[in-house]
Amino acid sequence: MTSILTSLHRLLRVLSTAALWLSAAGLVAMTAAVAWQVFGRYVLNDTPSWTEPISLLLMSWFILLGAAVGVRENFHLGLDIVRFFAPDRVARFMDGVSLVAITGFGIAMAWFGWTLVVGTWSATLPVLGIPGGIDYLPLVVGGGLIALFAVERLVGMIAHPREDIVVAKTAADLEAH
């Protein structure tokens, strides 16, 4: 069982790293598009029309991919003051409830995002000329990754009940338990 968890952990680490790199690339690409828009407007006196919609699309991707990585690495927002003062058993129960809620949120985001993708796929984004459903794909992918990473942390919490639920950074951390 530990070897299966270790293999899944490694796979999800690769997926998380890829999501983080894609998020960073999206941020750089969005910055370049906005810079081109400013250059076009103020230097060339000809504002490119494609920069704003592509910037918004890239922003959706890097925000939601980054949020998923934040869930996996336990960097997401939380109100920890009550948990901090709670006894260990209560704090772990609160962590479990939180992870179940995050999983449900991710699943709902992916499900309803998919409904939006399907419902708007036949429309075309006017400036970009691509299907309108592409605008909502980040909800599907981001929601799915959020749910997947929350489940990973929940399984880790159950498999290693005496430890903090922060995801181990290396496979050696998992194998040591």
Confidence check: pLDDT of 165 > 50: no
Distances (CA, A) of 142 to 56, 105, 109, 116: 15, 11, 8, 14
72-87 tens-digit pLDDT:
998 866 777 888 888 9
What is the domain count for the chain? Answer: 1
114-163 tens-digit pLDDT:
999 999 999 999 899 999 999 999 999 999 999 999 999 999 998 877 66
- Identify whether the C-beta of residue 24 lies closer than 8 Å to the C-beta of residue 18: no
Query: Pick the residue with more confidence: 84 or 16?
Result: 16
Percent of the chain whose predicted confidence (pLDDT) is above 90: 72
Smallest Cα–Cα separation from 151: which of 68, 35, 53, 27? Answer: 68
Tokens encoding 140 = 């599907």
From the CA atom positions of the chain, what is the Rg in Å?
20
74 lies in which domain range?
1-176
Tokens encoding 156 = 């880790």
pTM of the model: 0.86
